A and B are shown apart, each in its own frame.
Chain A
């Protein structure tokens, strides 16, 4: 069975880098089914022709940096929400547009990693870096990322 494509959605800034950092770690371990995107339209293009994808994105700080939530799209908890996006098209919009265009993969998993800071140019926080490392190792070992909470 083909492993899912892991798509890291992010930017170079602080914990918003989490998605890219997962891809970095997977690539370093020889996984070629991983790629970085920086906005919804890039994500839309990356979904084309895929059957099974895992999208990793940072979520806004609440109270537990590094906490992981996993959703399977379509997901009512996310569908009614506007993404906190600095770009024209966010994650949720991209998935809805992929549906409208008939380009949604058969299985789309969203992994949200709660961030601590998205300050310009900042490195990953310790908590998020630990989560990134754990999730990448888990994916390499088991080919999947499961819901769990990192306290």
Chain B
């Protein structure tokens, strides 16, 4: 159907984190409008933080999402420590990076194997995929074991697997013992083969062709693949400190979504997340990860958003190896944290959440209460880019039946692994005749 008006409407996006919907309006073969709608409101947490003691912020912000709580803790702690003029010693910095490795592994493996792979293999779900053959069932089982290695990191360093509690402003509450660290390193060594297998699996997927001149935005560090620090850079010449973020980026309210959309000031959409990190930091990956990426056929630069699944698998392998390196070279600090005295100040920081850059800004008063909080999560930054991808993509599915067209549009959304925040996951229960 290529004449007249047509609307592709997906009321509840499947296989994404959170509650979202998608509407694509087409008229006479052209895309008239695309609305990526988000029902949840993470800004609620910014208001919730006002008046709270700064020491509570890492635990409160961890509750924003069950999938990426570490990211919220990392951006929050670093922003508050910047406000307080603190600089963490090397072992505490290493533990923070190790914790982030755990979350990258958990989050990426979940998305690759359970949410995104079915798109490329033409299954409606990971269940159908696992039912289809013993080999694919084994891939899913292996991915589950790999994800558990990430959980083990978050459990030990973060204090528990869900909404970690061991992170504090100034460091940690407890440093893991040597025997605990050694056991974790063994768990991760056992997971390396699974990470390689995961990369080989997704590298064999047939990726739809796509190529677009995106502005990729990510952190860049002097000598590391970025997680907790770096300058904010783009492939179009952006190179700024965290504090300059509001000069270059601006959040916008759109009438159809509860989440603000962040765009380039005076510009438009930009792309954050694994593909942006790869394009801006591939030379910061260790040689083993670079070699594995090359063997997977991943190109650089890469402007195909469908290749994000391959980059995620490269980042999983990197995170496993990086976690092992951090554990093997860890020298326990004299103290688990650096003490501080509150001062009236402002702090800004950005870290690399699994889905891309996560901006936090806090203003604290003289007694250490939060008077202002701003949080810009990666999905709000990718929202406009997702819509622009769909504006380009939707005309190519005009001739497909509605269900298939909707599925293909969803796949475009899932390239970004949108995390629409964690509100509730109750079971909607309707019992008839009981």
A and B part of one assembly = yes
Residues of A within 8 A of B (CB): 9-16, 36-39, 41-42, 44-45, 48, 57-60, 62, 69, 77-78, 81, 83-93, 96-97, 100-103, 112, 114-115, 118, 120-121
Contact A11–B429 (Cβ < 8 Å)? no
Could you list 16 A-B pairs, sorted by A, with CB under 8 Å? A10-B425, A11-B424, A59-B426, A59-B428, A60-B426, A77-B431, A81-B428, A83-B427, A83-B428, A84-B426, A86-B17, A90-B425, A97-B127, A97-B130, A101-B144, A118-B426
A111 to B7, CA, bound (A): 40
- Point out the residue from B14, B63, B67 that lies within 8 Å of A121, measured CB to CB: B63
Supply 19 further A-B pairs (C-beta < 8 A) apart from A100-B127, A121-B48.
A11-B424, A11-B425, A38-B163, A38-B425, A41-B147, A58-B426, A60-B427, A62-B429, A78-B427, A83-B427, A85-B425, A86-B17, A86-B18, A86-B425, A88-B15, A88-B110, A88-B111, A97-B127, A121-B44
**Given known contacts A112-B429, A121-B48, is B422 in contact with A97 (CB within 8 Å)?**
no
Contact B127–A9 (Cβ < 8 Å)? no
Query: A111 to nearest B CB, angstroms?
Result: 11
Contact B424–A118 (Cβ < 8 Å)? yes
Contact B429–A59 (Cβ < 8 Å)? yes
- Point out the residue from A16, A88, A103, A114 that lies within 8 Å of B114, measured CB to CB: A88
Query: B137 to nearest A CB, angstroms?
Result: 6
- Point out the residue from A39, A103, A120 that lies within 8 Å of B66, measured CB to CB: A39
Residue ID in chain B nearest A103 by CB atoms: B141
Residue B90, interface by CB 8 Å: no
Query: B3 to nearest A CB, angstroms?
Result: 34
Residue B420, interface by CB 8 Å: yes
Contact B144–A16 (Cβ < 8 Å)? no
- Point out the residue from B48, B144, B429 that lies within 8 Å of A45, measured CB to CB: B144
Residues of B within 8 A of A114 (CB): 429
- Point out the residue from B19, B126, B431 that lies within 8 Å of A69, measured CB to CB: B431
Residue B162, interface by CB 8 Å: yes
**Given known contacts A86-B18, A93-B127, A101-B137, is B426 in contact with A41 (CB within 8 Å)?**
no
Query: B19 to nearest A CB, angstroms?
Result: 5
Residues of B within 8 A of A90 (CB): 425, 427
A136 to B305, CA, bound (A): 48
Contact A42–B425 (Cβ < 8 Å)? no
Residues of A within 8 A of B148 (CB): 45
Interface residues of B in 131-152 (CB under 8 A from A): 131, 137, 140-141, 144, 147-148, 151
Residue ID in chain B nearest A90 by CB atoms: B425
Residues of B within 8 A of A16 (CB): 423-426
Query: B103 to nearest A CB, angstroms?
Result: 13
Residue ID in chain A nearest B161 by CB atoms: A42
A127 to B151, CA, bound (A): 33
A87 to B420, CA, bound (A): 9
Query: B309 to nearest A CB, angstroms?
Result: 14
Contact B422–A11 (Cβ < 8 Å)? yes
Residue ID in chain B nearest A39 by CB atoms: B66
Residue B94, interface by CB 8 Å: no
Contact with A along B18-52 (1 / 0, CB 8 A): 11000000000000000000001000110010000
Residues of B within 8 A of A120 (CB): 44-45, 48, 423
Residues of A within 8 A of B420 (CB): 86
Residue B16, interface by CB 8 Å: yes
Lowest 9 A-B CB distances belong to which pairs? A84-B428, A118-B424, A59-B429, A38-B66, A100-B130, A16-B424, A58-B426, A60-B428, A88-B115
Residues of B within 8 A of A39 (CB): 66-67, 425
A30 to B305, CA, bound (A): 49
Contact B431–A97 (Cβ < 8 Å)? no
A77 to B434, CA, bound (A): 11
Contact A101–B114 (Cβ < 8 Å)? no
Residues of B within 8 A of A83 (CB): 425, 427-428
A115 to B425, CA, bound (A): 11
Query: B37 to nearest A CB, angstroms?
Result: 14
Query: A32 to nearest B CB, angstroms?
Result: 15
Residues of A within 8 A of B125 (CB): 93
Contact B162–A86 (Cβ < 8 Å)? no
Query: A149 to nearest B CB, angstroms?
Result: 10
**Given known contacts A45-B151, A88-B17, A101-B137, is B423 in contact with A118 (CB within 8 Å)?**
yes
**Given known contacts A41-B147, A100-B127, A101-B130, is B66 in contact with A58 (CB within 8 Å)?**
no
Question: Which of A9, A92, A97, A115 neighbours the largest number of chain B CB atoms within 10 Å of its CB?
Answer: A97
Contact A97–B140 (Cβ < 8 Å)? yes
**Given known contacts A86-B18, A120-B44, is B110 in contact with A41 (CB within 8 Å)?**
yes
Residues of A within 8 A of B18 (CB): 86-87
Residues of B within 8 A of A36 (CB): 162
Query: A45 to nearest B CB, angstroms?
Result: 6
Query: A74 to nearest B CB, angstroms?
Result: 13
Residues of B within 8 A of A85 (CB): 425
Query: A72 to nearest B CB, angstroms?
Result: 14
A39 to B409, CA, bound (A): 25
Contact A41–B144 (Cβ < 8 Å)? yes
